[in-house]
Every structure is written in structure tokens, then in C-alpha cells.
Structure 1
């Protein structure tokens, strides 16, 4: 069906030029806004991700240097103490004093008091920690000297457990107590200054701990027989006893240590050499709290730039943590809920609760820890130990004697929070820009196609026969187009007038010539008066009939007086005669 209805008026098309122009302009603007927004978003995301990884890597490297420096420092200090004359003399003299006590023996009453103390004080603590009740005999000391010294410095110590080290002289009159009163204050101060949880001296010959600062239940016990023969401290003593090198350092990784209530303890030893012979081992007991304090920055994560979810943590070769995760310290309830969420067994959770620490009890096996323990440094977005997407930087630690990895991480949600805000801003700005584009496209389509639409309507009126049509234009281009259309209409009117008048001329010229010939004959016979009237009527009738047969246009305002045709020349004499 045509786009013109039965009345002859044009009907707008369903998908006109204006709609097409508007759609093209709007699409071009929308594509420009979309491409700009998408490129800006991903560029900003990549830049922020790189900045976060750089920050995490810098934090990890800083923490790595701090941990490595801490171990280098305590190794140097332990080596310095082990080679000092005071420690060499104390080791040699303590060995002699303990041998004397072994020969002197311990009374049954004294042994019973020590056994009762173990049953009443030590075993309940171990039972709570280990979740099982061991036999008393499994932890009792071996030999007379251990019973004697543990009675005077542990059982009969007037100070509570945390302050037993304040006892310098037990007052029993033994050579050991005399030596203890001399060396103990100095060694105790050295341990406190360096930051050792405990300093111990082992006799490599008997395999006994002949001196300790803290006076725990391992004091004077044997590392070759008894409950501690498989402990980390026994391993340190065995290794250092075979190293007659004053620069040698033996380090054993963290492990639960029963005398310290099952707390994770690492041991570092240095040989005590007298005249080229290893007579003892000076052992530093490293509390996990010192390492944890270094790794966590004193638990000041926000102050160190880790935000709300960032942290660094240590992992050993068994994938068990060597420092506490952040959530454990900030929100215990949330921490255990997250462990359960990632599938940690109830038994493992109960173990962490019993020991009061996740160190050596929480397993973190992720892409980051596996790569770092394999000696590979890297960064990437991984699924963290809490089961959430995490940005992480990982790498190994260069500490002789242990295989540790350090990971710095932050939750992706927090790291990309500025990007989320940027995305919202881009959506708002993009929406506003799109509105501007749409409005501009609508204005341009009207401004460009309004005159064209008016011109098209004029052309269609002209095609329908309206030769008097006119077009208004607001711009130079549209005004020129309208003038051209009007000129075309004027030419068309003149052409139509010429056609109409030509038709009149063809129909009127024959009768007019006939009338003229009759008129001339009448003049020849001198009968003008008689013939003028009927011949004029004949001419008039003939012209009227021709006009009726070929009507002129309604707007053609012209009379016979203006006609330059022979009909007028024929009628003029007649009209004159009638006058």
C-alpha cells in the first residue's frame, strides 16, 4: 500500500529519515561513551591492581627482611654469648656441680614431693592441652640431680611459675646454688635483653640441661632418655655437639613443647667450646610471640597500611602457620566461623581452642604457600585460606635451618573498593553523557531535517497540482531550496498558461478568420451597418465556446485585451464599428 492515503495527503513512513538520523547519532554517541567508560574502567582496574601488588610485595619484602634480620641478630648474639668466657666457665663448673649432686643422691621424701608436684600441677595442664591424661612416670626426671634441683628451684621455689627465675640462690648450701647465685643474674639479664624466652645450657656428655633461666620441668632432665629425647631441643644439642666450630648455629623449627604447656617453641643452639672441645651447647628458646610480633607488626595492621583485611603470615613446610592470622586476634568468633566455612574439621578447631593458638595447628595450603615453599616468588589473585578471593604476594625466607614462606595478602573486595566506586561514578557519568548525546541527536535531527521535511511537503503539494505552493526556510540552505522550488512552481504556472492559451488560439483563429473575411466582404458591399451585428455575435459565440472547451486556470487573471493572438486583431475592428 502506498504511503499516500485516499485523500492524496502524504503519510509519514514508519522508519523515516529523521528516525534513522537520530538513531545513528545516538548509537555513535552511546558507543563512544561505552568504549571510553570500559577502557577507563579496565585501565584503572589494572593500574590499581598493579599498585596493590606492588604494595603487597613491598610489605612482604619488608617483613621478610625484618624476620631474617631478627634471626641473624639473635644468631650473632647467641654466638657471642656461647663464646664468652662467662658462659664457658659456667658450663664447665655447672657440669661438675651436677655430677656431684648425682653422686650425692636424693632422698625418697624429696622424690615423693617432686612426684606429687607433677601430679598436682604439671599433669593437669598437660592434660588440658593435649586432650589426654599421660602417666606421671612419662614425665618424671631421670637421675638424682634432677630430683634434687627441681625440688629446690621448682617445687620449693617461693615465687609463682612466671617468676621462678627470680630465685638466685636456693639456700641449700650446694656448690650448684653457689654457682647459680653468681651466673644466673647475668645470664637472666642477657636473655631478657636479647629477647630469648629462655636460655639453657646442655652438657653434651650426659645430655642433660644443667642450667635454664625459666626453671621449667625440663630443668636438669636428660635429653637422651626420658620424655624429651625426641624433642627439638634434643635435636639441637645432638647437632651442635658434632660442630666444633665457634660460628656454628643450629636451628630447629617450631614444635609443641610440653614443658612450656605445649606452646610452639623453636630452639637455636651454639656450641660452647673449651680448648677446642665442645663441652656444652648454649640453647636459646624462641617463643612464637617474638616471631609473631615481627610478622604482624605488633598487631598494628591498619597503621602499617594493611587496611581492614590485609596481613602477613608465616607458613612452614608442613603448611602449618608459624604466625597467627589476623582474624584470630581481632575476632575469635568470626575466625572459628570462617574455619568451619572452609571445611576445617571440628577436631582441628578444638585443638586450636585447647592450645590457645593457631600456630602449628592451622593448615594453609594455597597456591601462594605452595609456590613460596617451592622457592618461587610471585603475585596473583588467589582463593585465600578464608575461602574468599585474595590478592597476594608470596616468597620464601632465607633463614638457615628452616624452610619458611611468607605471604602478604589483602581481600580483593577491599583492594578493589576504589574500582567499585569508580564503576559507579562511570555509570553515572556515562548515563548523563548518554542523555546529552540523545538530546543533541534529537536537536540535530530536527535542525537538519525540519527544513527538508517542509521542502518535501512542498514538492508533494506541487506534484499534486498546487502550483502556488511556497516553502519557508530558516537557514540559508533551506531558504535557497525553497526559492528554487518556488521558481520551479512559477515556471510550471507559465508553462501551463502557455499551453492553455495555445489551445484557445488554435480553436479561435479559424472562426475569427472567417469572420474577418465576411467583414471585408460586407465592407465591399457597403452593408456594414446591416452585417456588423450578426457577425460580431458569431465571433463572440465562437470565442465563448472555445473558452468553455478550454478553461483557463482559476488564478489566470487575463483578458482578451492582453492577448497577442489573431483573434484579438480580428475582433478589434468589429468592436470599433459597433462603437
Structure 2
């Protein structure tokens, strides 16, 4: 088998071995990394839903306090409680007859009757009912209650069967509404706040309901309690957001018993207070600690889950973010298939590299043989490829390069000697030309000075030399002209003196 065949085959086998090991190691690492990423995503999602729910619930707390402190609320309760004793021995029966049994509006719309128009209670009811109804619809509450200090529910918006009953000894004395009333009425702090767990509330057809309550204090006198009945609809809208949680993931709100408070976004059934979760992580969250791990059994699957506590007033819930393990495993399988696909491409690339590598060995040898033949024929312009290689081929190329350089050096030496001979001859001619030019300049200077001196000898004191001489010889011209100028001045002075003497002698 030729080397050109052996080398690509060896490269392919090597790539297959490396690929198999890499895929195996990669899948293990990918599984661990994917688990970490899934838990991080779930933890971030649970925390995000908790923050949304916390803002929603805190807004309810602030609204309850503000409404209880409002003068309209205080006056409404004051007026209704003033009319309450005038309703007879059984106010509950009388008011339920007026506002429920004889109410012309169908069930679920009893709130549309603003007054039974019989006595002072109905007049007091009418004064505040429109405002409370508008507030209920704007805030999304299920019902609003005014409760006097004795526990009588003297007013509700919805007019269900809890209306006009007593929360201390009446049929709903064990409900969450009674619980929050008792705590709120016991406090003298206008900032106090009470709330309850979600429960199936009988007057509302067993629908999930939680209650919040604050005291109503007017001129430092405790009149009673304002309470809201909260449905889980708005919480459902918060926890129904499944973005980023795939096809099986969701977030749910769970109470301390492990029962769902919010409905599952992944089922068509009503799950609130009917479906539960079982996991030690719930106990951790109810204890105030974040937790993550697996939950088994919920929606007939095993899930990755992150659980965080949510505190609101007197209640602590758990926010659970989860996603099915099968869906996560499918992501790992998909990633594995991608790795295998990439590995196959790498094997092809490795085979191609092996072919190129074999060519990188055989082709330089062939090229080197050709270059040696050209060098033997006297051609030193040959290109020696691979001279920087560190293998045996590189050694061979460098050996040929030595012979080529020797031939080049020989030719350069011969050319240099010839160049020196040419340069010496050129320098000699240049020196002779320079000497001839210097001699000509000197001769010219001598001639010019000689002419000037001749004119001076003939008595011509105006014969200055005007034409500049070459180089340093021009200094002679300047000195001559200066001397001639001084001599001319001296002669002029002597001539003046002689003239003056002659004039005096003649006189």
C-alpha cells in the first residue's frame, strides 16, 4: 500500500477514535451543564413570578389601608351600623330577604340592586354602594365587606349568603373571613393588616377565596373592619405565563399543605385546591428556604423543579417552577445527535486532512528533484519550497539551498569585482575633470585680477571687478575692490589738499 493511501486511512481511523471519545465525554458534560442551566432557568423563573405576585399582593395591602382610611368608607360604615339595630330581632333574615331573595336581579348580579327602599338602612346602603361596586370592578376583587365591631357583616357588594351573618357565632365563624376579622378588630393600629390562606368558600359556590382585612378607625374610634375577598383569577394570570418553559413547564402557587392555589396552565381542569404536590422541597420553601430538585407524580411525570417562598402578611406560600424531565432529556438527545453530526463532518475533514498531509510529503520531494535538475543546468532562480520544514524533507531542501547559495555567492563575487573595476575608472575620470575645472577657475581669477591691476597701474582708480569669481576665489575680487576703493579715497583727499595749498599761495 502506497504512503499516499496509508496516511489518509490512518488519519480517518484516528479521527473516528477521537470522535467516539469526544462524543461520550461531551454527552456526560452536556448532561451536567444542561441540568445546571435548567435549574438556573427554573430558579430565575420562580423568583420572577414571586416578584410579580408580591407586587400584586402588596398593591392590595396598600389599597385596603387607603380605602379604610377614606372618609367615605368611614361614613358608610357609621351610617349602616347606625341603622342596623332598627332591622328587628333577625337582621340577617331581613336583609337577605331584601337584597337576595326579593332582589329582581339573577344570581351573580345581585350587586346591581343599590337599595331596597324601605328604611334608613337602605338609604345608608345606597349612599356607598355605587362607590364600592365601582372600586370592586376596577380592582378585580370578588367582594368587599363592611363588618361592625360585633362581627356582623353589615354590608357586602355581591350579596351572597354570608351577607348579614355574624362571624363570631354565625355559620361562617370558622372561615378565613372570620379569621382576618378577628385579627383586625383586635388591633388598635390603623396600619394593621390581616390575611388568610386560599380556601374553598361556601357562600361563593366553593370557589377558591382568600381574605384581607384592616380596621376602620374614625376619630380614634374603632368602627369595625373593611375586608376584601380575593379570587385566584389575577394570580392565575401571573402564573399562567409559561414563556421559556418549553412544552411541559409551568409555574404554580402552592399553599403550606401542598395544594395548588393557582390553576395549572397545562391542564383544562380547575386545579386550585384540588391538585397537590408532594416534595420535601415544599417544606423547605414553607420554612423560608429556596430549594431545587425533582418532583415526582405531579401531572403524571417527573419534573425538574425550583421552589421559593412567597410571604404576604400572615401567610407563606411556595412558588414552584418546573419542567418535565422527558423534555429536558429530549434536549440532551437532540444535542447528542448534533454532536454526532458534527463528528461525522469532522471525520470527513480528517480524511481530507490526511490526504492533504500525504500530498504534503510526496509533492515536495518531487518538486525538489526538479529543482536540483534546474540547478545543475545553472539556473539559480529556482524556488525551494519547504526550506523552513523541521523534518527530513526540510533537511534535503536546505542542503540543496546550500549549493544554490554557493553558486549565487560565486556569481555575486564576480559581479562585485567587475563593479569595483568600473567604479575605479569612473572615479579617476571624475577627479581629472574636477582638477581641470579648478585650474580653469584659477586661470580665470588670475586673468581678471591681472586686468584690474593693469588698469590700476595705468592710473584708473575706477576699474573694480564686477563679475563674481568661482568659489573661494571670489574673496580675492572683494578684497581687490575694497583696496581700490580705499586708494581712490586717499588720492582724492591728497588732491584736495594740494588744490587748497595752491589757492592760498596765489593769494
- What is the match of residue 371 of structure 1? 284
The alpha carbon displacement at 1:433 in A equals 4.5
Cα deviation 1:239-288 (Å, max 9, x = unaligned): 11110111111001111111001111111000011232322110000112
SS of residue in 1 equivalent to 2:181:
helix
Cα deviation 1:6-32 (Å, max 9, x = unaligned): xxxxxxxxxxxxxx9999876643331
Distance in 2 (CA, whole Å) between partners of 1:421 and 1:248 is 55
- What is the match of residue 258 of structure 2? 319
Gap runs ≥5 in structure 1:
1-19, 106-143, 333-356, 449-475, 478-579
2:93 matches 1:180: no
- What is the match of residue 527 of structure 1? none
RMSD: 3.3
Distance 1:85 1:444, change over 3 A: closer
Distance in 2 (CA, whole Å) between partners of 1:382 and 1:153 is 48
Alignment of 1:504-515 (within 5 A): none
The alpha carbon displacement at 1:382 in A equals 4.4
Cα deviation 1:165-187 (Å, max 9, x = unaligned): 0111112x210111111110011
SS of residue in 2 equivalent to 1:328:
coil
The alpha carbon displacement at 1:323 in A equals 0.8
Distance 1:97 1:32, change over 3 A: same
Decide whether the 8 Å contact of 2:76 with 2:127 is kept in 1.
Answer: no
Distance in 2 (CA, whole Å) between partners of 1:189 and 1:39 is 64
The alpha carbon displacement at 1:441 in A equals 8.3
- What is the match of residue 190 of structure 1? 135
Decide whether the 8 Å contact of 1:48 with 1:416 is kept in 2.
Answer: no
2:247 matches 1:308: yes
1:60 counterpart (43, 46, 68): 46
2:108 matches 1:162: yes
The alpha carbon displacement at 1:47 in A equals 4.0
Distance 1:170 1:444, change over 3 A: same
Q: TM-score, normalised by structure 2?
A: 0.65
Cα deviation 1:134-172 (Å, max 9, x = unaligned): xxxxxxxxxx1111111111011111111110111112x
- What is the match of residue 452 of structure 1? none
Gap runs ≥5 in structure 2:
1-5, 362-391, 394-507
Q: TM-score, normalised by structure 1?
A: 0.57
SS of residue in 2 equivalent to 1:320:
coil
The alpha carbon displacement at 1:44 in A equals 4.0
Decide whether the 8 Å contact of 1:366 with 1:384 is kept in 2.
Answer: no
Distance in 2 (CA, whole Å) between partners of 1:202 and 1:382 is 43
Distance 1:443 1:181, change over 3 A: closer
Alignment of 1:11-410 (within 5 A): 28-102=14-88, 105=89, 144-171=90-117, 173-205=118-150, 207-297=151-241, 301=242, 304-329=243-268, 332=269, 357-383=270-296, 385-410=298-323
Aligned residue pairs, count = 364
Distance 1:407 1:26, change over 3 A: same
Distance in 2 (CA, whole Å) between partners of 1:322 and 1:442 is 66
The alpha carbon displacement at 1:427 in A equals 2.1
